[in-house]
């Protein structure tokens, strides 16, 4: 009875991963041999991991990438693409963001500009930074509309 109350309270406090793991601990005989601190630590770790994963999923969804599976580790450095491996590695640290620099990607059609942009965006999301993927024509249209509506500064600061 007491464990059901605890489970319900965890659910009510929106600690769903902790509640789920608590129920699992009650049925798993291997875990009952652990100390209270160890068991509690496992519950907290489960909740923390769940929340971080949900945060990452939300950031990826809100970024609206055209290729959400892109990642820096899968970039192909063919000689005809003229990509500098060291420079991409530097960009993947996202230091340019805190230093308030921008990256502009130019190249021929089919050269992998979109994939590269999405991969760098995913690197920023892995650092729990908010990202918004937008192509230049859409950005220019949005800025023109916001300027005519008098909300240009608000849109720029997003």
Residue 106 has pLDDT above 90, yes or no: no
CB atoms within 10 A of CB 96: 14
CA separation for the pair 21, 42 (Å, rounded): 8
Predicted TM-score (pTM) of this structure: 0.75
Distances in whole angstroms, Cα of residue 24 to Cα of each of 39, 52, 62: 11, 21, 32
Half-sphere exposure of 43 (CA within 13 A, CB side): 22
The pLDDT confidence band at residue 57, using thresholds 50, 70 and 90, is: very high
Structure tokens, 86: 């060291």
**Highest mean pLDDT pick, 54-58, 82-86, 137-141:** 54-58
Residue 149 has pLDDT above 70, yes or no: yes
pLDDT for residue 158: 64
**Highest mean pLDDT pick, 27-31, 90-94, 150-154:** 90-94
The pLDDT confidence band at residue 13, using thresholds 50, 70 and 90, is: very high
pLDDT for residue 120: 96
Nearest to 68 by CA among 138, 131, 142: 131
**Sequence spans of domains, the chain:** 2-63, 72-156
């Amino acid at each position: 009875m007491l464990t059901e109350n605890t489970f319900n309270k965890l659910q009510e406090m929106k600690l769903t991963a902790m509640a789920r793991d608590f129920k699992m601990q009650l049925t798993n005989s291997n875990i009952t041999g652990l100390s209270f601190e160890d068991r509690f630590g496992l519950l907290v770790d489960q909740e923390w991991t769940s929340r971080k994963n949900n945060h990452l999923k939300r950031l990826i969804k809100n970024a609206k990438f055209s290729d959400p599976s892109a990642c820096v580790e899968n970039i192909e450095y063919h000689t005809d693409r003229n990509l500098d491996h060291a420079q991409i590695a530097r960009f993947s640290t996202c230091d340019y963001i805190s230093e308030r620099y921008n990256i502009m990607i130019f190249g021929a059609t089919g050269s992998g500009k979109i994939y590269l942009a999405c991969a760098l965006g995913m690197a920023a999301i892995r650092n729990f930074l908010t990202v918004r993927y937008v192509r230049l024509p859409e950005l220019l249209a949005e800025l023109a509309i916001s300027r005519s509506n008098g909300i240009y500064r608000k849109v720029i600061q997003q």
